[in-house]
């Protein structure tokens, strides 16, 4: 129950529930109805006169349409197939090894076997131990290890097998790991909105946007780390922002969920550190439950890595080395100037200023794909300015605004310097998604101010329209390019494929 006492509280509660059920119904339908589809427009036409749709001369796709029907699957990309393969072998074989290469020390004549090479499970997201020829997922193993516990019950108690009963198993796992946390996310967001903001329009606009027009709904159809990380960030904030001051249990839960978020999104460690420093400043040594809570997922993270590959650090820490650069690996092409362009967006080599532009206002832009963030950003800066002026007397959400802006700058700078491919073949800059709940707190007051005029209200709803358009443009699969990139490809401005 959301406890509110003003005259419009009952109406707001009804609208929160209505919007939440609408959003959750959409997410559930997307999960259960998911199937990997092949798009003819992204394949070479069968004849020279075949339709391509591109305005740029000679911009004909290079990929050839499959000669044999692909295996039907609800797994949508290399990314989630790599995780599902780990879950499957953990339960069915009791190992983290998803494949094996015979004669692995030879550049030719080797034979690859295992789940990761089966039709429907093939994935680029794998590494090979150069000492044994055993393949593992390149994804951190903690997340699939936890989900393997759910599949263990489905397999041992209900007799479901991932390969034979793939739609049942995948749908159940995604409903548990994507839908249920998202439902809790929406519930807690409504409670925090009621506690910290006053205007009806600002609260309802923010909630509607959060429930229907962020990329959390886009990624609900696939097994990914981004949606759970977003939920964990809000779960970490809730004990610290609720009206009643958190005791040791609240601090422990905040530390735990911020630690889980960091295991899912490594740069979220910056938020964990910022929250802990803030608690130290305000509570001194009484902040110890937060640290204990954060250490539990950290220990599980490193322990699962060691159990998986015999190393404390995750496999992606070996990127550029022999674990990735084995014969036949997709990533070997990065070192060959002739083959690098064949990687598409993964082989992009752009000036950092251009890359930074596209991450913010370009084809994968935080602001261009979700322009509501322009309003939220102004709100965050206004809140931060008040927090700096009022100092200790500032409201919790105003103090959070300073932290949000600092963490966001660090995360944006990290990815500009350390990445080159925008998160790969995907519908948004997915690495930035976990910042979503932080930015939401800058929106209600700013939206309320804009709502005072007809022009401001019209501006807001147009931004909401544009944000929703970007979210639902890749309606069935988040592992598709955003609409801005496809428009750039169509007119010949940018081409990675």
Per-range mean pLDDT, top range of 15-29, 335-349, 413-427: 15-29
Q: Name the token pair of 193.
A: 């909105």
- pLDDT value, residue 207: 97
Q: At what angle do helices 200-212 and 443-450 cross, to 10 degrees?
A: 120
pLDDT tens sequence across 65-96: 888 888 899 999 999 999 999 999 999 999 99
> Which of 90-104, 186-200, 313-327 bottoms out in mean pLDDT, i.e. has the lowest?
313-327
> Which of 82-91, 305-314, 328-337, 478-487 bottoms out in mean pLDDT, i.e. has the lowest?
328-337
- pLDDT value, residue 495: 79
pLDDT bin (cut points 50, 70, 90) of residue 391 is confident
> Which of 132-146, 237-251, 337-351, 423-437 bottoms out in mean pLDDT, i.e. has the lowest?
337-351
Residues 6+ apart with CB under 8 A from 401: 379, 380, 381, 383, 384, 387, 441, 442
pLDDT tens sequence across 487-497: 988 888 887 76
For residues 228 and 182, is the Cβ–Cβ distance under 8 A? Answer: no
Residue 1 has pLDDT above 50, yes or no: no
- pLDDT value, residue 63: 81
For residues 494 and 488, is the Cβ–Cβ distance under 8 A? Answer: yes
- pLDDT value, residue 3: 53
For residues 275 and 261, is the Cβ–Cβ distance under 8 A? Answer: no
For residues 45 and 52, is the Cβ–Cβ distance under 8 A? Answer: yes
Residue 388 has pLDDT above 50, yes or no: yes
Cα separation, 161 vs 158, in Å, equals 9
Cα separation, 118 vs 340, in Å, equals 26
Q: What percent of the chain has pLDDT above 90?
A: 74
For residues 203 and 12, is the Cβ–Cβ distance under 8 A? Answer: yes
pLDDT tens sequence across 393-429: 889 999 999 999 999 999 999 999 999 899 988 999 9
Q: Taking residues 47-51, what's their average pLDDT?
A: 78
Round the average pLDDT of the chain to a whole number and report it: 92
Q: Name the token pair of 217.
A: 């709904």
CA torsion, ordered 388, 214, 358, 345, to nearest 10 deg: 140
The most distant pair of C-alpha atoms in the chain lies apart, rounded to whole Å, by 76
Residues 6+ apart with CB under 8 A from 337: none
- pLDDT value, residue 4: 57
Q: Taking residues 236-263, what's their average pLDDT?
A: 93
Count of helix runs (H) and strand runs (E) in the chain: 19, 4
For residues 448 and 201, is the Cβ–Cβ distance under 8 A? Answer: yes
> How much is the pTM?
0.93
Question: Computed over its alpha carbons, how large is the radius of gyration of the chain?
Answer: 23
Q: At what angle do helices 166-174 and 9-32 cross, to 10 degrees?
A: 150
Q: For residue 381, how many other CB atoms are within 10 A of its CB?
A: 15
Residue 49 has pLDDT above 90, yes or no: no
Half-sphere exposure in the Cβ direction for 237 (13 Å, CA): 30
Residue 57 has pLDDT above 70, yes or no: no
pLDDT tens sequence across 257-274: 999 999 999 999 999 999
Cα separation, 252 vs 235, in Å, equals 12
Cα separation, 67 vs 46, in Å, equals 12
């Amino acid at each position: 129950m959301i406890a509110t006492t003003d005259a419009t509280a009952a109406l707001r509660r009804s609208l929160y529930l209505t919007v939440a059920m609408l959003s959750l119904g959409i997410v559930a339908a997307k999960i259960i109805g998911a199937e990997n589809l092949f798009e003819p427009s992204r394949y070479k036409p069968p004849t020279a006169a075949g339709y391509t749709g591109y305005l740029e001369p000679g911009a004909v796709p290079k990929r050839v349409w499959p000669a044999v029907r692909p295996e039907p699957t609800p797994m949508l990309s290399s990314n989630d197939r790599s995780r599902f393969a780990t879950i499957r072998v953990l339960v069915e074989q009791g190992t983290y090894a998803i494949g094996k290469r015979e004669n692995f020390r030879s550049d030719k004549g080797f034979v690859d076997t295992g789940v990761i090479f089966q039709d429907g499970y093939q994935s680029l997201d794998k590494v090979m131990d150069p000492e044994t020829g055993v393949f593992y997922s390149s994804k951190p193993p903690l997340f699939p290890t936890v989900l393997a516990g759910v599949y263990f019950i489905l397999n041992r108690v209900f007799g479901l097998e991932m390969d034979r009963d793939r739609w049942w198993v995948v749908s159940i796992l995604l409903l548990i790991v994507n839908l249920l946390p998202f439902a809790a996310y929406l519930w807690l967001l409504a409670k925090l909105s009621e506690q910290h903001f006053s205007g009806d329009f600002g609260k309802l606009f923010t909630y509607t946007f959060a429930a229907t027009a962020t990329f959390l709904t886009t990624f609900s159809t696939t097994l990914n780390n981004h949606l759970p990380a977003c939920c964990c960030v809000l779960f970490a904030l809730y004990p610290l922002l609720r009206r009643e001051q958190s005791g040791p249990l609240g601090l422990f839960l905040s530390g735990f969920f911020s630690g889980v978020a960091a295991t899912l999104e490594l740069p979220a460690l910056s938020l964990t550190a910022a929250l802990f420093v803030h608690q130290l400043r305000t509570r001194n040594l009484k902040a110890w439950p937060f640290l204990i809570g954060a250490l539990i997922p950290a220990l599980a993270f490193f322990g699962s890595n060691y159990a998986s590959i015999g190393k404390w650090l995750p496999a992606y820490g070996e990127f550029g080395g022999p674990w990735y650069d084995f014969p036949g690996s997709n990533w070997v092409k990065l070192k060959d100037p002739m083959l690098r362009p064949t990687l598409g967006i993964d082989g992009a080599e752009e000036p950092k200023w251009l890359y930074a532009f596209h991450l913010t206002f370009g084809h994968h832009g935080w602001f261009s794909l979700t322009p509501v963030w322009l309003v939220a950003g102004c709100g965050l800066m206004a809140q931060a300015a008040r927090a700096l002026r009022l100092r200790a007397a500032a409201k919790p959400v105003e103090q959070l605004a300073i932290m949000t802006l600092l963490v966001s700058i660090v995360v944006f700078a990290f990815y500009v310097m350390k990445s080159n491919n925008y998160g790969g073949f995907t519908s948004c800059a997915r690495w930035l998604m976990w910042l979503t709940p932080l930015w939401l707190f800058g929106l209600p007051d700013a939206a309320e101010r804009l709502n005072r005029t007809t022009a401001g209200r019209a501006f807001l709803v147009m931004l909401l329209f544009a944000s929703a358009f970007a979210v639902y443009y890749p309606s069935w699969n988040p592992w598709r390019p955003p609409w801005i990139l496809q428009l750039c490809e169509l007119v010949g401005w940018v081409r990675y494929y």
